[in-house]
């Protein structure tokens, strides 16, 4: 091993479902190139997921995109492909056996690539213990390091581009209104602007009722996706991108699924963001706006443990806001009736807004995940 920065990376991404796996890998790949001048080859088994978050991507065996060497990860993997200096398996996706074999051969020549398993994000306390731990692969003797993103100093941190927060601040100060108008979004000045990205969820029924009866106008932007089918079921309609619907205090506007960079701008523009999964959660933290998380469901309710762990870290120093937040987030995730819990929560909006900004400022003091990966590779 050397103490210099490696300059080539292979990232393996298996798309389980949705956009989080590719969303994280694509963001990391670009950041390693733009900020750390690395060469990155990104292997993706389902490129159609990439085309949703980055429409100029093609479904093709190889393409250069934003400086990234994007490859289709085929079932039959070419055994002559040489590994980069660092190999990342995203979310324990298991690289091709022949690639592992070549890595073992390089180890025998004292040129073992650094092998990192990038894990899913969790606020559970055990993450601090496991971050950075390594295991030795029994058949090859190669060391694999487990890299855990997280919210505390003793984790791998969160993905955050170096200029992200400055871009956010400038957008919020100067560009927000024009940007919204370009998308045809012109809420009344006193409206609460909400973005809604979530899985299918029957709790939307109670929430839409609460919004219809809200004392303040609510303007809700829904990027096309899973929650729209729940909205359509409740309303008995077939709303699609471009459609609007108004009832009582509520205006719903369905917008197209945005390119990943524009989705950040949507989060920056709104007063409250409903997010889901992993990557949009992190982006909403950096938006420094109040947010509601729809967590990805796991077997045996493991996701509820993860949700509680996050809630325990989010706002413990603000007990009244915290109680209202916990109630609403649990209702939203356990498909309860969100009307009463929404009314309770929204009373605390000013405190919630201040808290969101503080949390973003506080988390941004930690080195970001790409920086920590580079540091790790320099130190090992």
Residue 288, interface with ligand TRH (CB under 6 A)?
no
127 vs 120: CA distance, rounded Å: 10
List helix spans (H) across the chain.
20-36, 47-53, 97-108, 126-130, 164-170, 176-182, 204-212, 226-235, 260-269, 279-287, 302-314, 319-333, 338-346, 349-363, 369-379
- H-helix or E-strand containing 291? strand 291-294
User: Catalytic one among 10, 21, 279, 339?
Assistant: 21
Is residue 92 a contact partner of residue 117, using CB atoms and an 8 Å limit? yes
Write down how long the chain is. 380
Q: How far is the CB of 332 from ligand TRH (least distance, A)?
A: 15
Q: Which residues contact 84 (CB under 8 A, 6 or more apart)?
A: 6, 8, 9, 10, 39, 41, 113
Q: How far is the CB of 176 from ligand TRH (least distance, A)?
A: 17
For ligand TRH, the closer CB: 150 or 223: 223
- Taking CB under 6 A as the binding criterion, the range among 2-10, 172-180, 253-261, 349-357 that sits at the site for ligand TRH is 253-261
- Pattern 210-249, binding to ligand TRH, x per CB under 6 A? -------------x--------------------------
- H-helix or E-strand containing 183? none
Q: What is the DSSP string of 187-205?
A: --TTPEEEEE-----TTHH
Instruction: Based on the residue annotation, tell me whether 278 is a catalytic residue of this protein.
Output: yes
Give the one residue of 191, 280, 333, 360 binding ligand TRH; rule: CB under 6 A: 280
- H-helix or E-strand containing 63? strand 62-65
Residue 16, interface with ligand TRH (CB under 6 A)?
yes
User: Catalytic one among 10, 89, 264, 278?
Assistant: 278
Q: How far is the CB of 98 from ligand TRH (least distance, A)?
A: 26
Q: How far is the CB of 200 from ligand TRH (least distance, A)?
A: 11
- Taking CB under 6 A as the binding criterion, the range among 131-139, 208-216, 232-240, 272-280 that sits at the site for ligand TRH is 272-280
Interface positions with ligand TRH (CB under 6 A) = 16-21, 23, 53, 120, 197, 223, 257-258, 260, 263, 276-280, 296
Residues involved in catalysis: 21, 278
């Amino acid at each position: 091993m050397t103490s210099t920065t490696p300059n080539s990376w292979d990232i393996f991404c298996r798309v389980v479902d949705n956009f989080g796996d590719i969303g994280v890998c694509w963001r990391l790949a670009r950041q390693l190139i733009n900020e750390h001048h690395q060469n990155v080859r990104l292997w993706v088994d389902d490129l159609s997921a990439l085309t949703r978050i980055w429409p100029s991507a093609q479904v093709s065996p190889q393409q250069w995109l934003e400086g990234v060497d994007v490859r289709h990860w085929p079932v039959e993997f070419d055994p002559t492909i040489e590994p980069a200096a660092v190999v990342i398996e995203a979310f324990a996706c298991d690289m091709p056996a022949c690639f592992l074999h070549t890595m073992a051969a390089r180890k025998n020549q004292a040129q073992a690539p650094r092998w990192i398993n990038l894990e899913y994000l969790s606020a559970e306390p055990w993450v601090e213990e496991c971050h950075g731990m390594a295991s030795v692969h029994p058949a090859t003797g190669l060391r694999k390091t487990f890299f855990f993103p997280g919210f505390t100093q003793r984790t791998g941190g969160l993905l955050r581009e170096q200029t992200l927060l400055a871009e956010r601040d400038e957008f919020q100060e100067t560009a927000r209104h024009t940007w919204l108008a370009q998308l045809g979004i012109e809420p009344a000045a006193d409206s609460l602007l909400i973005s809604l990205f979530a899985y299918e969820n029957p709790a939307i029924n109670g929430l839409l009722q609460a919004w219809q009866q809200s004392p303040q106008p609510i303007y809700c932007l829904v990027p096309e996706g899973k929650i729209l089918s729940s909205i359509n079921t409740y309303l008995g309609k077939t709303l699609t991108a471009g459609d609007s619907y108004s009832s009582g205090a509520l205006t719903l506007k369905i917008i197209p699924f945005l390119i990943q960079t524009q989705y950040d701008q949507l989060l920056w523009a709104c007063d409250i963001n409903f997010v889901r999964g992993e990557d949009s959660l992190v982006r909403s933290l950096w938006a420094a706006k109040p947010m509601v998380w729809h967590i990805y469901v796991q077997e045996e309710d493991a996701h509820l443990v993860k949700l509680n762990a996050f809630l325990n870290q989010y706002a413990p120093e603000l007990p009244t806001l915290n109680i209202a937040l916990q109630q609403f987030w649990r209702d939203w995730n356990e498909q309860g009736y969100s009307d009463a819990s929404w009314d309770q929560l929204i009373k605390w909006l000013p405190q919630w807004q201040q808290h969101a900004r503080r949390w973003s400022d506080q988390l941004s003091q930690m080195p970001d995940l790409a920086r920590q990966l580079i540091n790790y590779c320099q130190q090992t």
